[in-house]
Amino acid sequence: MVKGRMLQGARAMAEMCALCRPKVISAYPITPQTLIVEELSQIVADGDLEAEFINVEGEHSAASVVLGAAAVGVRVFTCSSSQGLLLMSEVIFNIAGMRLPVVMICVNRSVSAPLNIWNDQQDSIIMRDSGWIQLYAENNEETCDLLLQAHKIAEDHRVMLPAMVCCDGYVLPHAYEIVDLPSQAEVDAFLPPYDPIYKLDIDNPTTMGAFADPEKYMETRYMIQETMKKSLSVIEEVARDFGSSFGRSSYGLFEKYRVDDASTVVVALGSMAGTIKDVVDELRDQGEKVGILRLICYRPFPKEALYEALSAAENIVIMEKDISLGGSGAVATDMRAVFYGREACPRISGFILGLGGRDITVDDIKTTISKAQHQVADADFVGLKEDLELEGING
């Protein structure tokens, strides 16, 4: 472990990516992912990573390149955000359906229109149906930790599904943080070489990507669904292994911060949990029994574990940076399903914050918690600018 280096997030993530020894990397530039791939480019150009770095003409091709390379049986990496992730979405679903353990970092950014390059989590949330494992990081060091674990989880023969590590754009990759990164030897000990179950091989030819008629397709989806459920225990197992190998905790499915005796629990993904933890501490000092459950593994959705962790709470306050337009927040929708028809039935409120990089302030969080303790909210937007005239809505 190399400790105490002050690194820009993107640099730390690029170094971690290189330590995992991908053989083929392909990416297309999009803000705010660019710094990561630029750092990786330099690492390859300096001969510090033996890999093919393919500068493609678009994200659809970036994902396709890593799909092809993974099919030959090598470890791969790609990275994107927002419009790029949407453009490659067809390939994202394809990779999961083909059971190729591709790993990527999604640098979370809002989606157009209007064009906005700042952070929210809409992009990766949109991909929640795809069959990819999704892990959300709070800080740069955790992004790196989850990246290493993601390769191990994805390549596990009990899983063989792709995995996406999500980190908040600008907030994480662009920020400087003191990180401890493992050495190459430690990574090699933790993450063995990729051992594919099926691959393209002239000595043992296979046909990959056959089409499935109605008599067969449904079973393939059932297989992925069941595998995702089984992956929950693999994710926890790998987190425990990480903890014992590297001497620092990796929480597994979620991190509980002052949750056990809390009557009000906030649920959130990613970096905003940091601010929420500060608010929790402040409210606790004032005698309020508040906590935050930071969800790390969003897909597969850990229904049972969440029920166990939250069934004693009276109020669950979901704060999320996404909205399924015409419906509710995605995380809130999933959380409500956890409790439906069960014995425990806390009041569940959903709030939408921080879209398009809108700042999430301590006051926003306090007001939201207070609001949720008095009435149930469906998908209330927090932090809207009161003085703006909105055509067709209030003016």
Partner 1 sequence: MKITLGTVTHPGGSRVNKTGSWRTASKPRFKHQACVACDVCALVCPEGCIFGTGQNTYYANEDYCKGCGICAQVCPVHDIEMIPEADEDG
Partner 2 sequence: MVKVEERDKFNDHLLASGHTACPGCGQSLAARLVLRAAGRNVMVVNSTGCLEVFSSKYPESAWEVPWIHSLFENTSAVAAGVEAALKITGQLDRVRVIAQGGDGSTADIGLGAISGMLERGHDVLYICYDNEAYMNTGIQRSGSTPYYARTTTSPPGKVSLGNWRPKKDVPQIALAHGIPYVAVASVGYPMDLDRKVRKALSIRGPKYVQIHVPCPLGWGTDPARTIDFARLAVLTGLYPLYEVENGELRALKIPKKVPVEEYLKEQVRFRHLFGKEDRSKEIAEIQSIADQNIEKFGLIVK
Residue bearing tokens 């597969």: 300
Identify the CA nearest to 147 among candidates 47, 55, 77.
77
* Upstream peptide bond of 302 is cis (omega within 30 degrees of 0): no
Contact 163, 154 (CB under 8 A): yes
Q: Interface residues for partner 2 in 168-227 (CB under 8 A)?
A: 200-202, 205-213, 216
Please report whether residue 221 would count as binding partner 1 according to CB under 8 A: no
In the region spanning residues 67 to 106, those forming contacts with partner 1, defined by CB under 8 A, are: 97-100
DSSP code per residue over 42-63: HHHHTTSS--EEEE-SSHHHHH
Segment (H or E) for 332:
helix 330-339
Among 45, 115, 189, 208, contact with partner 1 (rule: CB under 8 A): 208
Do 19 and 181 contact (CB within 8 A), yes or no? yes
Residue 67 or residue 377: which is nearer to partner 1 going by CB?
A: 67
By CB under 8 A, the count of residues binding partner 1 is 19
Contact 256, 306 (CB under 8 A): no
Nearest CB to partner 2, comparing residues 19 and 70: 70
Distance of closest approach, residue 379 Cβ to partner 2, in angstroms: 34
Could you tell me the smallest distance in angstroms from the CB atom of residue 69 to partner 1? 15
Instruction: Annotate 83-146 with DSSP letters as a single string.
Output: HHHHHTHHHHHHHHHTT---EEEEEE---SSSP--S--SHHHHHGGGSS-EEEE-SSHHHHHHH
Residue 276 binds partner 1, judged by CB under 8 A? no
44 or 323, CB closer to partner 2?
A: 44
Is 1 one of the binding residues for partner 1 (CB under 8 A)?
no
Q: Does 214 bind partner 1 (CB under 8 A)?
A: no
Among 46, 57, 219, 387, contact with partner 1 (rule: CB under 8 A)? 219
| Span 216-275, contacts to partner 2 by CB under 8 A | 216
Query: Is 34 or 94 the residue whose CB approaches partner 1 more closely?
Result: 94
72 in helix, strand or coil? Answer: helix
**If contact means CB under 5 to 8 A according to the sort of partner, which of partner 2, partner 1, none does residue 69 touch?**
partner 2
CB of 68 to partner 1, least distance (A): 14
Q: If binding means CB under 8 A, how many residues of this protein chain bind partner 2?
A: 43
> Is there binding between residue 203 and partner 1 (CB under 8 A)?
no
Cα within 13 Å of Cα(179), Cβ side: 25
Which residues are near partner 2 by CB under 8 A?
Answer: 23-24, 26, 50-52, 54-58, 60-62, 64-74, 76, 90-91, 94, 98, 200-202, 205-213, 216
